[in-house]
Structure 1
């Protein structure tokens, strides 16, 4: 006869296996191993852990090779783009606090079957806010990639301008997908919908916003809904409490800037001192720094060099500052 704990673990494993979520499955299996160890069954616990480690060490098959990516059909195809994410958690350069929040979301989703079995809902409604180019879109890709899910992007500014008068009904179509197809759904340019409006601009935008919030409230925890905005200041303050978590992004500091450059250039910048570049990197976004690093690399490679020089970086950063900051 199964004990209550054993039954919940088996149920959680079946659910995670059925949904194709390997990490959630492994997480539950390791919980079983820990329980066996506490009961003194150390050999069994060790065997379980070794089996998990062996399985995890096998090459990870890309999502596209496991299953065909869901291609939007009919009305959904007009409002949503679907792609396979490639960025991983190790690729994201951000503060320790923000990285911790992102890891927490991923871990809760991996163990969602266990949480829901005990009456808890995993974090699945996120608001990302901060300057352009600071990693909001990449975060959606990272979460999707770590969970082996596709990213479905809905650009709200285009949706509202293209389907004025029909936006709410189009949103319903998207949230029907949220309920039926597990994925990460990114609502980009959220300020197009959530701006605090007054006067003649209230009408359509307010109706659409209310529809979005109703859909969000009932969104399936099997999927992750992410709203991203570059303009927190113009959002209706009442919106923030509708999300499970609000993640704040900022421009990178000096050390983050160096890490970004080194990550992008790899061996091309080996041995090159990056200290003292603060005056050139200050005010640039993550995306700006990556583009500057790529520009420096191209300059070095096209002249036949196998490494980027400090001068290459300084020149590229100065050019990027001029383009981005005026």
Structure 2
């Protein structure tokens, strides 16, 4: 055995920390020790492996936390996914983008914050019109941090287990304490509606009170993300319980053009005068713009070429406007 126990521990520690320079330094020490002990061939092979590995410069990516698909009662309440999207894949206004960078930075430096008695942002409320990127944001947080994304089926939670919703919520938050992941409560207004609303019932108030209690106790290792299209319907206590609230809006004309260009990046768009399309993107959400781009692309592909016809794209955008008013 040419590597000492100390060398092995140091190698594992450097690998776990992602410190390539330290890892290679220790590996070279092992190679040098092998040469001193008369294992010349092994020393040469180790140095060749180190040089080869350094030359490849493979980018490290955090591996997702290994989690099986939820089963039993929990399986009926949420589904698991392992997103591979990044913040750079989204087209966002400067404000929401900066806030998401803040969440990611604090989560990545969680250990440093906890040394001083602070916790990172881990309870995030997303509010805005449909199709503006709220669900994708949860996927981005999971993808950037190498975590699973658990989506809670709120409609089923409330309609199927009305009398047992608090116990089902407890299951979800217990999972958050046991398994580090991003937990997305989509269409959150179904759960977090204002307790003072005239059509509220006692059971709904108890459910919301239970959620607030569990949210207060949510561990900082996991991220609890709530997304709603109707922020004005939410109980005021919810805004105070979340660490951060991010407001989404339909894209500006410049952002809308960027959304179209991103989706059509595999196509030839040289003939498209993008500035002429700006007015047609008004009030369309990110999702609607993606649909329009896909419609124009499919028409071009089925027509036998990869060039986007500006007229096809114009028609696709008008179709999206027509659907909004149907």
- When normalised by structure 1's length, the TM-score is 0.81
CA contact (8 A) 1:262 1:269 kept: no
Cα offset for 1:307?
Answer: 1.1
Alpha-carbon displacement from aligned partner over 1:53-89 (angstroms, at most 9, x marks no partner)? x6994155684xx764421021100100101112111
- Counterpart of 1:48 in structure 2 is none
Q: Secondary structure of the residue that 1:275 maps to in structure 2?
A: helix
- Counterpart of 1:305 in structure 2 is 305
- Counterpart of 2:257 in structure 1 is 258
**Partner Cα separation in structure 2 for residue 62 and residue 114 of structure 1:** 18
CA contact (8 A) 1:296 1:313 kept: yes
Q: What is the total number of aligned residue pairs between the two structures? A: 282
Q: Does 1:235 align with 2:234?
A: yes
Q: 1:291 to 1:302 in 2, by over 3 A?
A: same
Taking the TM superposition and a 5 Å limit, the aligned residue runs for 1:264-275 are: 264-271=263-270, 272-275=272-275
Alpha-carbon displacement from aligned partner over 1:224-247 (angstroms, at most 9, x marks no partner)? 000000001111122101000000
CA contact (8 A) 1:296 1:312 kept: yes
**Partner Cα separation in structure 1 for residue 286 and residue 205 of structure 2:** 33
Taking the TM superposition and a 5 Å limit, the aligned residue runs for 1:70-219 are: 70-197=68-195, 198-199=197-198, 201-219=200-218
Cα offset for 1:158?
Answer: 2.4
**Partner Cα separation in structure 2 for residue 244 and residue 91 of structure 1:** 25
**Partner Cα separation in structure 1 for residue 124 and residue 240 of structure 2:** 11
Please identify, of 95-104 and 192-201, the stretch whose mean Cα deviation from structure 2 is larger.
192-201
Structure 2: give runs of 5+ residues left out of the alignment: 1-11, 23-53
Alpha-carbon displacement from aligned partner over 1:33-53 (angstroms, at most 9, x marks no partner)? xxxxxxxxxxxxxxxxxxxxx
- Over aligned residue pairs, what C-alpha RMSD do you find? 2.5
Q: Secondary structure of the residue that 1:277 maps to in structure 2?
A: helix
Show structure 1 runs of 4+ deviating over 4 A.
Answer: 54-57, 59-63
- When normalised by structure 2's length, the TM-score is 0.81
Q: Secondary structure of the residue that 1:189 maps to in structure 2?
A: coil
Q: Secondary structure of the residue that 2:246 maps to in structure 1?
A: strand
Structure 1: give runs of 5+ residues left out of the alignment: 1-12, 18-24, 33-53
- Counterpart of 2:293 in structure 1 is 293
Alpha-carbon displacement from aligned partner over 1:8-51 (angstroms, at most 9, x marks no partner)? xxxxx97x94xxxxxxx45xx69x9xxxxxxxxxxxxxxxxxxx
Q: Which has the larger radius of gyration?
A: 2
